[in-house]
Amino acid sequence: MARIGGDLDLVVSADLRRRLDHAVSDDTVTTVLLDLSEVGFVDAHCIGLIVSARTEAAKRGRTLEVVGLQGLPARVFGLLGLDSVMVRQGYGGKPGGR
């Protein structure tokens, strides 16, 4: 499980990309869980990085799922329709911010 905390914005995007690339390329896992329970903000660029990592995981025969969404990040994922395709239901947090 990749645990991410703080704000996901342009300042941390290079580190986020590196961590996602590492998690997705790990041959010992079939499912990458991205724990965002400690994230209070996520910008469009970082959403794009997460979606790209999910696409790369699928190319490698793996899945990437987001867990622990709450607050603003949950609302953003919900507004973009990503909560129904990327968020593991019933695993902490409340997708859609409800």
CATH number for the domain harbouring residue 47 = 3.30.750.24
pTM: 0.87
34: in domain:
yes
98: in domain:
no
Q: Are 47 and 73 spatial neighbours (Cβ–Cβ below 8 Å)?
A: no
Q: Tally Cβ neighbours within 10 Å of residue 34.
A: 26
CA distances from 85 to 11, 15, 27 (A): 27, 24, 23
Q: Are 44 and 13 spatial neighbours (Cβ–Cβ below 8 Å)?
A: no
- Using the predicted structure, report yes or no on whether residue 95 has a pLDDT greater than 50: no
Tens of pLDDT along 14-51? 999 999 999 999 999 999 999 999 999 999 999 999 99
53: in domain:
yes
